[in-house]
A = this chain, B = another copy of it.
Amino acid sequence: MDWKSLGRLVRFMVRQDLVEVEVEEEGKRLRVRRRDGRPAPEGGAGPGPAAAAASPVPSAAAAPAEPGIAEFRSPMVGTFYRAANPEAEPFVQPGSKVEPETVICIIEAMKVMNEVRAETAGEILEVLAENGQPVEFGQPLFRIRTG
């Protein structure tokens, strides 16, 4: 880009009311910006399809921001059991107080019964998965009031 073309570019910008032009090619770079105080606000429609795809998967919705209430999510893929065996009492119920070491459920993966611990102290508010049902990684299993 020589000075003549640059002059032409600037006249063009004046005519078109452009604020800034930036060109970069083959190692060369040119930016022309005219005086303008106003910032360009974000958002709005353009030619680009910037809109993200709507999530195709029912993602585990983030817990609404209730202070002191946490969702306990499954640390692994497997089958969720609330009790050590079909005859036993559930490890926890809504209202149960738990300590970090309290076993709150079992997840069976590859024939192994994995004891899952609360990892926090608090109170079970709600059981979100059903006994004997498959759960995926990150699936909410319990709501716990912590602290």
Contacts and interface: CB of A to CB of B under 8 A. Distances in A.
A36 interface: yes
B47 A46 contact: no
B59 A35 contact: yes
Contacts of A111: none
Contacts of A31: 20-22, 31, 51, 54-56
Interface residues of A, number: 57
Contact of A25 (B12, B27, B33): B27
Interface of A: 1, 6-7, 10, 12-52, 54-57, 59-65, 143
How many copies make up the complex? 2
A17 B55 contact: no
A35 to B, nearest CB: 4
A17 B63 contact: yes
Contacts of A18: 10, 32-35, 46-47
A41 B41 contact: no
Contacts of A55: 20, 31-33
Interface centre among A20, A28, A44 (most CB of B within 10 A): A20
Contact of A41 (B14, B22, B27, B46): B46
Name the 4 nearest CB pairs between A and B, nearest first. A41-B46, A39-B44, A43-B50, A40-B40
A47 B21 CA distance: 9
